[in-house]
Amino acid sequence: MKIINGIIVIIIITTVSLTSCKKLDRFPETSFSDANFWNTETDLIDAANRMYQQLDANWIDNRADDAVNQSGPNSISNGNITVPNTSADWSDRYDEIFTANNILEKAGRAKISQDIINRYYGEARFFRAYAYLSLVQKYGDVPLVLHTLDINSPELTMPRTPRETVMEAIYADLDSAASWLPTRAALPAAQYGRVTKSAAWALKARAGLYEGTWLKFRNEAGWQQHLQIAVEAAKCNGARSHALSGLWRFISTCRRRTG
């Protein structure tokens, strides 16, 4: 009888153990693998949201006279600044570029219409262009990486790409973004604040104006082309603002000065 009772206990313990294992074999709710992601529009929205989270403010005024150090010269002003080995101005931008490249490579797996996929391709290319424009403004020539890298990628030691090539990539990204992103009027109310077609044209106008003036006031060739790109982008954006008028006046003045 004791032997039979022992066998029954063993059977019960084994059954409970197997049942418990099945209950523990659950899909993790706090992490995703690529195999279980990139399937729905919600997945693409969640992936794109990371780019908004990474977005760095562009506060130029913190280097202007209205934010000057009142206690006296700082280490930059007095020439004692030590150049750091790393900077978030560089590394954070490439984190953003990685996120955009990852979306561009994987969003096509989603089982949804191509138009919806293209919309998030557009967001990724907008943010990649934004990151590269920030890099060009601070560093000039920078490595142009248009796909994701791993620890064995030879591009990890690639030289810097000429700024003109990087600017061409920025314009190409923004052209694609503008063709794929929705207009402001077509943006659902729940998605207010996401980038739109006009945002892509506006950023392209800003990029062209920056690069054109940078070249112009260093007496380098090609500035007219970039300023014309800025004008055309502003026209596409439907801009009839003081900013566009000011841009036209600036270009007219430059042309008169150069004969």
Q: Which of 155, 154, 130 is nearest to 145 (CA)?
A: 155
Which of the pair, 68 or 74, is modelled with greater confidence? 74
135, 64 contact by CB (below 8 A):
no
The confidence score (pLDDT) of residue 243 equals: 44
pLDDT digits (tens, 9 = 90+) for 124-156: 999 999 999 999 999 999 999 999 999 999 999
Mean pLDDT of 40-53: 95
CA angle 209, 131, 61 (to 5 degrees): 65
- Evaluate if residue 63 carries a pLDDT over 60: no
- Evaluate if residue 73 carries a pLDDT over 90: no
- Evaluate if residue 195 carries a pLDDT over 50: yes
41 φ, ψ to 5°? -65, -35
161 φ, ψ to 5°? -90, 135
